Amino acid sequence: MAKELLKGNDAFAEAAIRAGCEAYFGYPITPQTEALEHMSKRMPELRRVFLQAESEVAAINMVYGAACAGVRTMTSSSSPGISLMMEGLSYIAGSEVPVVVVNVMRGGPGLGNIAPSQADYNQMVKGGGHGDYHPIVLAPATVQEMIDLTVEAFDLAEKYRTIVAILADGSLGQIMEPAELPPMQPVRKLKDRPSWALTGAKKRDPNIISSIYIDPVEEEKVNLRLMAKKAEIEANEVRFRELLLDDAEFAVVAFGTAGRIAQSAITEARAEGIKVGLMRPISLFPFPYERIHQLADEVKAMLVVEMNGGQMLEDVRLGVEGKVPVSFYGRMGGMVPMPEEVLEEIQKLARSVKN
Amino acid sequence: MTNPEMVESLIYEKPESLTDIGTHYCPGCTHGISHRLIAEVIDEMGAREDIIGIAPVGCAVFAYNYFNMDFAEAAHGRAPAMATGVKRVNPDKVVFTYQGDGDLASIGAAEILHATGRGENITVIFINNAIYGMTGGQMAPTTLPGQRTTSTPLGRDIELHGFPLRMCEILSQMDGAAYIVRRSLHDVAHIRKAKKALRTAFEVQRQGLGFSMVELLSSCPTNWNITAEDSLKWIETHMIPTYPLGDYKVHAALSVK
Ligand SMILES: Cc1ncc(C[n+]2csc(CCOP(=O)(O)OP(=O)(O)O)c2C)c(N)n1
């Protein structure tokens, strides 16, 4: 399929459709709304389910219901809407049904604004709702990655019966770039729905989907199972991209849009003779702790760049374990760092280590 | 010894739609009666293998243990949203929720209102016992003026807490509502009428006519602090005057029969 000029929000929505998403439930919120609008047009055309819910609370519980019925289902929203979904996401995690959710983050806290931000890192990556659970969190940096990771999200969600979150930001939702969409996959036939799904107990024992285990002994077993799943995901699903790290003395660690901006800064720094490279985590959970740990043996110092007050920074420091200094540069509240600002931070880092 | 005149006749049988598990409900609670009525209706309709139930958060949270059919357990108040998700991707199945008054009329007020507004083709069984049973007897949106609960120890003061919500009256105003009725479980005659209404509600869904809800006035002797027997009388003397029984909305397609 050829490349087309696509807007991030339309692109991930269409990618979901082509990945066989059978039911979408959502509520309008900028800077994500084009995804909902895209779904409102395309899903009925394909005789699939689109429903604008009365709230994000309702939307995530509709998704929960559709997931229990064994179909590929998703929602998308932006920061305040994702906050409203947290109870539902916790129930989904507790009942182990596969769900895809996209957060096109905006400036906060509170109503904040509609500008790009990465300030929901902690909320999404560390679970967000109540209880011990970890959604897989994937962070794209381009429209093409929005597409590819959305398709992958549905497979991962089903493989592990887990929530997979795409953590994007307002600029990725709004930007237009040439990108290639995947071929269309048909939706699953009723007879091919998973054996645990709620489809009516025809000639089989009833299926029950619940997240209540009133006996703590049983609930601990569920938690242990979730932890075992977490370990399996950590072992198999770490994803990151590296650039110019082979001979690097310094590493910038940044995800999503911040990673993309850091890439421009690194190109300029290299032109000035500073040996710096980029480590861009794509899976934020599972976080590439091991690679960061190794990297700390290869470079003299690291710089973390984020569009927040320093959230992934804590995970980088966990990986580094104090082996090298880790500095931080962040813009907040919807402000996006310019490559020159990041370049300046790289220059500072290079000077501080030389002296 | 055996009387040749005597003929064996079966007068009581457990519906196939119920499991063998004994319920956890308190003595005198009417949840058990409503479970049985629903199960009988589902058996009579031959729908057990085509039905998906959604349990609430409340005393009926374990309903899925007692019903012998596919079931999910929703978050507090969100059963109508969850049922919407299940129904939209299983349009040929019968989908119902079973919800208490705190679940449906308080925390889940938005979800029930919009499920009705959309004419969502689901059936809702609404258990109104005028109290929060599961958490130990606090005020519900349906608690009567003056009624003592653990969070209205001096009785529900309408100046402070406002008035009871009458959900049948509210929801029946909406165009999406196809069948909205209130029944009571306080005596045999009323229990029979309740069963008929449940049957109609499920038939409404099968015919695709839209949203159906049966409200059942129910007892909670434990949290009302009265005997089981008195609790049934209390439904009649106190609840029915505030929550009149009747048909609040009946789809035109039903009256032509
Ligand atoms: C979000 C949330 N808030 C509060 C609770 C606590 N809670 C559990 S059941 C319940 C009230 C249920 O009352 P009702 O719906 O009337 O059902 P009943 O127990 O009387 O059958 C409450 C407040 C909860 N589980 N979740």
Asked if residue B251 has pLDDT above 90, the reply is yes
pLDDT for res A237:
98
* Whether B50 contacts chain A with CB within 8 A: yes
- Locate the domains of chain B by residue range: 24-249
Chain B residue with minimum CA distance to A97: B72
Q: Across the interface, which of A54, A88, A200 has its CB nearest the CB of B50?
A: A200
- The class (CATH top level) of A240-354 is alpha beta
> Ligand 1 center to residue B168 CA distance, Å?
20
- Which ligand 1 atom sits nearest the alpha carbon of residue B99? 15
DSSP type of residue B138: B
pLDDT for res B256:
56
CB of B141 sitting under 6 A from ligand 1: no
Kindly report each contact of residues A221-224 with a partner whose C-beta sits within 8 Å and lies 24 or more positions away, as own/partner: A222/A94, A223/A132
* Whether A44 contacts chain B with CB within 8 A: no
- Locate the domains of chain A by residue range: 4-202+207-236, 240-354
Asked if residue B257 has pLDDT above 60, the reply is no
Asked if residue B5 has pLDDT above 90, the reply is no
> Ligand 1 center to residue B132 CA distance, Å?
6
* Whether A52 contacts chain B with CB within 8 A: no
- Best mutation site among B30, B76, B147 for ligand 1, i.e. most ligand atoms within 8 A of its Cβ? B76
Task: Classify domain B24-249 at the CATH topology level.
Answer: Rossmann fold (3.40.50)
pTM of the complete model beyond 0.80: yes
Chain B positions in Cβ-Cβ contact with residue A54 (cut-off 8 Å) = 110-111, 113-114
Indicate the burial class of A70 (C-beta count within 10 angstroms; 0-12, 13-18, 19 or more): buried
- In angstroms, the separation between the Cα of residue B222 and the nearest Cα of chain A is 21
Contact between chains at B70 and A65 (C-beta distance less than 8 A): no
* Whether A24 contacts chain B with CB within 8 A: no
| Nearest-5° Cα angle at A82, A78 to A84 | 130
pLDDT for res B2:
59
Token pair in block for residue B129? 């016992």
- Which ligand 1 atom sits nearest the alpha carbon of residue B220? 20
| Whether the domain at A4-202+207-236 and the domain at A240-354 fall into the same CATH topology | yes
* Whether A327 contacts chain B with CB within 8 A: no
Give the pLDDT confidence of B45-71 residue by residue, as tens digits. Answer: 999 999 999 999 999 999 999 999 999
Q: pLDDT in tens for each of the 355 residues of chain A?
A: 799 999 999 999 999 999 999 999 999 999 999 999 999 999 999 999 999 999 999 999 999 999 999 999 999 999 999 999 999 999 999 999 999 999 999 999 999 999 999 999 999 999 999 999 999 999 999 999 999 999 999 999 999 999 999 999 999 999 999 999 999 999 999 999 999 999 999 999 999 999 999 999 999 999 999 999 999 999 999 999 999 999 999 999 999 999 999 999 999 999 999 999 999 999 999 999 999 999 999 999 999 999 999 999 999 999 999 999 999 999 999 999 999 999 999 999 999 987 5
CATH H-level superfamily of A4-202+207-236: Thiamin diphosphate (ThDP)-binding fold, Pyr/PP domains (3.40.50.970)
Chain A positions in Cβ-Cβ contact with residue B71 (cut-off 8 Å) = 198, 206-210
Candidates B244, B58, B250; CA nearest to B140 is B58
Cβ contacts below 8 Å, chain A against chain B, sum to: 130
Give the pLDDT confidence of A1-58 residue by residue, as tens digits. Answer: 799 999 999 999 999 999 999 999 999 999 999 999 999 999 999 999 999 999 999 9
Query: Rounded to an integer, what distance in angstroms lies between the CA atom of residue B234 and that of residue A155?
Result: 55
